[in-house]
Chain A
Amino acid sequence: KQEVTQIPAALSVPEGENLVLNCSFTDSAIYNLQWFRQDPGKGLTSLLLIQSSQREQTSGRLNASLDKSSGRSTLYIAASQPGDSATYLCAVKGGGADGLTFGKGTHLIIQP
């Protein structure tokens, strides 16, 4: 059974810092890995999708990397802003039609 772990569970940093969120998964046979953002009381917003054949994806100040063989992904946030405060979720897609397996998230607070 696939298990996804996110470290740290919570993180508080001052504005302007670069930071890294970590995600690990136990079964390397994945089709893709997706990073989401969730604001309190809201749905999930897709940030980045990395296919299993890719090493990284970038969108603005966000960069996600994937090392499938070691079962690890990182989300790098450059020049953090208070508006980046949210919970960040990592999820992997295995084979077949079934859905994503999620980590429990990293709760991020950016202090002004």
Chain B
Amino acid sequence: DAGITQSPRHKVTETGTPVTLRCHQTENHRYMYWYRQDPGHGLRLIHYSYGVKDTDKGEVSDGYSVSRSKTEDFLLTLESATSSQTSVYFCAISASVTEAFFGQGTRLTVV
């Protein structure tokens, strides 16, 4: 299995609070991605990174920010969590335009 660790695995937070999810990889892959998975919508891309300090927006980026200060870590921040951000969040990595590998997911509930 690709070395991808997401933390935390589960989190319950209150509306309006900031939340940061972490993705850590041991594969030294250049590309890292954050997706969310919701019933009826499937997986959708939030943000992605193509190198240290190089990030860009995906399909559903509103309300989210990311940072990548080291190759191995990609952080997803919800500045002020809303109930619509209750979801399962997946991190993925890839070396180039090749096979993508996914983490085990973080289940976030905003109450």
Contacts and interface: CB of A to CB of B under 8 A. Distances in A.
Q: How large is the interface on B (under 10, 10 to 19, 20 to 34, 35 or more residues)?
A: 20 to 34
- The secondary structure that dominates the B interface is strand
B99 A100 contact: no
B58 A99 contact: yes
A90 to B, nearest CB: 10
A99 B43 CA distance: 11
A31 B56 contact: no
29 contacts: A32-B98, A34-B99, A36-B102, A42-B104, A43-B90, A43-B104, A43-B105, A45-B102, A46-B100, A46-B101, A49-B98, A49-B99, A89-B43, A91-B100, A93-B100, A97-B31, A97-B48, A97-B50, A97-B56, A98-B56, A99-B33, A99-B92, A100-B43, A100-B92, A100-B100, A102-B42, A103-B42, A104-B40, A104-B42
